[in-house]
Amino acid sequence: MTDLRELRAGLRAAVRGDVDFGTTARALTTMDASNYRRVPLGVVAPRDADDVAAVLSVCRSQGVPVVPRGGGTSIAGQATGTGVVLDFTRHMNRLLSLDPEARTAVVQPGLVLDRLQEAAAPHGLRFGPDPSTHSRCTLGGMIGNNSCGSHSVAWGTTADSVRELSVLTPRGERLRPGRGWTGAPAGLRDLVDGELARLRTGFPELPRRISGYAVDALLPEKGADVARSLCGSEGTLGVLTEAVVDLVRAPRARALAVLAYAEESGAAEAAAGLLPYGPLTVEGMAADLVPSAAAADLPRGGAWLFVETGGDTEGEARARAETIVRAADVVDSLVVADPARQRALWRIREDASGTATRMPDGTEAWPGWEDCAVPPARLGAYLRDFRGLLADHGLRGTPYGHFGDGCIHVRIDFDLLTGPGVARFRRFSEELADVVVAHGGSLSGEHGDGQARAELLPRMYGAETVALFARVKGVWDPDDLLNPGMLVRPAPLDANLRFSVLPREPVDVAFGYPADGGDFSAAVRRCVGVAKCRTTSVSGPAVMCPSYRATGEEEHSTRGRARLLHEMLAGELVTDGWRSTEVRDALDLCLSCKGCRSDCPVGVDMATYKAEFLHHHYAGRRRPAAHYAMGWLPVWLGWVARTRSAAVVNGLASVGPLARAAKRLGGIAGEREIPRVAGETFTRWWRGRRVPGDGDGDGTVVVLWPDTFTEHLSPSVGRAAVRVLEAAGLRVALPPTLRLAGRPVGDARSRSALSLLAARRGRVCCGLTYISTGQLDRARAVLRRTLDLLEPVLATDAPVVVLEPSCAAALRADAPELLHDDPRAARLASRVRTFAETLEQYAPDWTPPALNRPVVGQTHCHQHAVLGEAPDRRLREAAGLTGDLSGGCCGLAGNFGFERGHYEVSAACAEDQLLPSVRNAPEDAVLVADGFSCRTQVEQLAGARGRHLAEVLAAALDNE
């Protein structure tokens, strides 16, 4: 039995990198993107090859397995293990050199593919293979799995792009594998020479044969390529420390032909016929994987092929795409040459890896048969047999993937939670393996065998060839130190399932989790590890995950937090449940930006999970001071308004020693300035402006929500909104003391309801500050009181206009999920409109004033994630505000950026997208920031004044 203290001490003495045997580090590496889970003893992040050698030496002396790990996006379980995990992403993640003339690059195993592509692009070069996880997968992982990607019909697999490797054997030998037996360990050549007949006849020839070891690459007629034979070995033979890879010339221009077919088999049968035209991609997917919002961007049909072409000019690339369209027998088609539009279409395809984890009815679906491959000409026939086998077992799945290479991805709605379901998973796997082999295919066509398929390799290769694999393993790794249980002597495909440790009964929670059947465990299971949250740069309007981009730490990614919640529910590693300090600390830097709610392909909603956790974690216990200072902000600001003491509060806040003391007591970051409270609240201005019966007009009544920030901190936004809404012909009312301009409107029922509302007293509140600090009992009470006050509004058809995006998102999404037992919450959510939505829907003929200036700023993260920004974009365009707002998160995010200990991360988030866009803006640009947090962050960190779009339009109206 391993002595953990001795192992840890030995590693810390021998390794200069990071050695972490803590609960958090282990919990973060229990899983990859597969169905499997193994608990490691510890995690080491080596700094260089010497560190790797030291780890191998210490672990070999104690008989502890070693598992190399890159981005952890493997789908067959090969990036998990029970020994020491080597994390190459922290330190060994550099591009060492790039030679444009030789078209080669020297990389470390932890280098993310996109970083290599960015470095190669200025030279007109690129690395050929490009999996959909290109923004977070590593070169080491790609070599270990022999990854491919959508361009493999043009540029092949990773093995086709590897020239030379630097490898450490488990016994510490340093080798440089290449061609012509270069870098081969002793005994390998003799083994191959004795098996030449088997190697020439026992390996099927097809573009995507990834299963097993590529021992046939050692044949003399194939150049005896030792480096190529290591590709796809899943870290079981040697540990990669460096690689020389080939780059390809990227086409100067590209076009994308989207070919629509009635159904997937038609698309599959057509794919092979397009290959003679020299496409760069032939990717396929069916309608079930396309979100309804994205379907409008595709030509009409039930399945599509994404066929990319290249050329020296846009015209040449388009002409090649149009040639393919003419040659194809399609229902409909689309040819796109605009790069931005191509990227948007490709995102639909790339997100399928996450979208496929849910069936259209919300049922969970899982990998396991994620990437088997057959000869492209047999793909149509194979898919029909595959569909038939699914039906025989009562299973469902929607294939997609690399149709031009005959490689299919699919997630299947296996029941992996019960004994009978797991048994069916095994029977189906065995029968499908036989179907794949009958069509001349490979059990793995991209992601490797891992635990998911290695047990079935004898069905593909036969027992003698599998025994040959074991002999190859014995030459490289005689002690079975590296990633045992993978490829050779594999663990059963139905063992170590990650779901088996989760509670079988639903966990008692506060939110309703309607998309997960009310089951918090099912909500946590949403994260399947595709790790889109681990991207280090944002493209377009995306937000997720700002804290990971600021820290680079896995525990601060959406996936990392989901993994910790999974282990909390499992109770094996994280043993103190909701009281866990490990989970608390990981969630502490979650900004609750909700970016994952929209940007995560599987819809993980970490903001809600964080609120749920904090609710339980602090139940019956004293909370951090910031939860009282900022969580109860509506109460404190209401007290200031009632006592009319804004001037006193602002004066005290301007006195340095008093301000510092207040910030210490309130848990507020010392670097922050306390925002000034308005001398006159928005509703007080409103009441003084007019009384019922003033004016006239018969436009649509809209109820303007006096959120806490507009009411007390930026009433100018509310005043501006009234100015614009009325200019557009709308009649504005405020709850709960409803004051309308002009005579009663609507039918008798509406007039009666509005009259009743006019007599009501009290403050409406969305509960946002209580939700974000996990004070969910208080949030429920506040929301129920608000719904009581709003019953007359809910009896009318008046929309509720919410100016603060975070409050609008709370009312539209959080309130109905928190008050899932109160139908009034859903009714209110259906009435909530943003400022731009209101103008577009209820004043469609109104033309805003023309500003004709560039716009700069950032879409509010909650607006992006929950509300949508399209109406705002159209309103800006109608007003002549040109340009796009940046993505990302401002970093203040309500209470987050004000809390002590968060300032550095908050500022880093702002520097990611927002502040550079402000600094680089033209002099005449309009700085738009609809959220109070965004405006505050820009003011405090950049000294610039951002305005709500309502303020911008109101000022233009006044100038007119």
Which pLDDT score, from 0 to 100, does residue 750 have?
A: 41
Residue 641 lies in a domain: no
Three-class SS state of 412: strand
Give the whole-angstrom CA distance, residue 935 versus residue 860.
10
Same domain, 725 and 829: yes
pLDDT tens column, 175-221: 999 999 999 999 999 999 999 999 999 999 898 999 999 999 999 99
| Structural tokens at position 299 | 């030509």
Domain hosting residue 339, numbered range: 253-447
| Structural tokens at position 619 | 């139940």
Residue 729 pLDDT greater than 60, yes or no:
yes
Which pLDDT score, from 0 to 100, does residue 691 have?
A: 47
CATH number, domain with residue 237: 3.30.465.10
C-alpha dist (Å) from residue 332 to 303, 304, 328, 789: 10, 9, 10, 53
pLDDT tens column, 365-420: 898 888 899 999 999 999 999 999 999 999 998 888 899 999 999 989 999 999 99
Residue 758 pLDDT greater than 60, yes or no:
no
Residue 132 pLDDT greater than 90, yes or no:
no
Same domain, 694 and 836: yes
Same domain, 603 and 575: yes
810 DSSP 8-state letter? I
Same domain, 56 and 139: no
Same domain, 229 and 294: no
CA-wise closest residue to 706 among 728, 688, 722: 722
Query: Is the separation of the CB atoms in 194 and 214 below 8 Å?
Result: no
Rg of the chain, C-alpha, whole Å: 30
408 — phi, psi (to 5°)? -115, 130
Q: For residue 909, is the peptide bond before it cis, meaning its omega torsion is within 30 degrees of 0?
A: no
Same domain, 164 and 267: no
763 vs 14, higher pLDDT = 14
Residue 523 pLDDT greater than 90, yes or no:
yes
Residue 739 pLDDT greater than 80, yes or no:
no
pLDDT tens column, 327-346: 999 999 999 999 989 998 88
pLDDT tens column, 218-235: 999 999 999 999 999 999
Q: Write the single-letter amino acid at 605.
A: D
| Structural tokens at position 394 | 């009562």
Query: In the structure, what pLDDT confidence band is assigned to residue 352 with cuts at 50, 70 and 90?
Result: low
Residue 759 pLDDT greater than 50, yes or no:
no
Query: In the structure, what pLDDT confidence band is assigned to residue 353 with cuts at 50, 70 and 90?
Result: low
Residue 755 pLDDT greater than 70, yes or no:
no
Domain boundary among 447, 468, 502: 447
Which pLDDT score, from 0 to 100, does residue 760 have?
A: 44
pLDDT tens column, 675-718: 999 999 999 999 998 644 444 457 899 999 999 999 999 999 99
Residue 479 lies in a domain: no
Q: Write the single-letter amino acid at 510.
A: A
Domain boundary among 841, 873, 900: 841
Residue 391 lies in a domain: yes
Q: Write the single-letter amino acid at 876.
A: R
C-alpha dist (Å) from residue 742 to 471, 686, 699, 723, 794: 90, 15, 10, 16, 21
Query: In the structure, what pLDDT confidence band is assigned to residue 264 with cuts at 50, 70 and 90?
Result: confident
Give the whole-angstrom CA distance, residue 494 versus residue 34.
12
Residue 511 lies in a domain: no
* pLDDT (mean) for 757-780: 85
Residue 129 lies in a domain: yes
The helix (H) or strand (E) run that includes residue 926 is strand 926-928
Bridge partners (DSSP) listed for residue 259: 305, 333
Residue 634 lies in a domain: no
- Domain total of the chain: 6
Residue 108 pLDDT greater than 50, yes or no:
yes
Residue 753 pLDDT greater than 60, yes or no:
no
Same domain, 266 and 217: no
Residue 492 lies in a domain: no
Which pLDDT score, from 0 to 100, does residue 356 have?
A: 64
Same domain, 699 and 782: yes
| Structural tokens at position 400 | 């997609």
Domain boundary among 792, 817, 841: 841
Same domain, 354 and 266: yes
Three-class SS state of 429: helix
Segment among 97-101, 352-356, 530-534, 911-915 with least mean pLDDT: 352-356
Same domain, 680 and 743: yes
Residue 650 lies in a domain: no
Which pLDDT score, from 0 to 100, does residue 290 have?
A: 79
Which pLDDT score, from 0 to 100, does residue 375 have?
A: 96
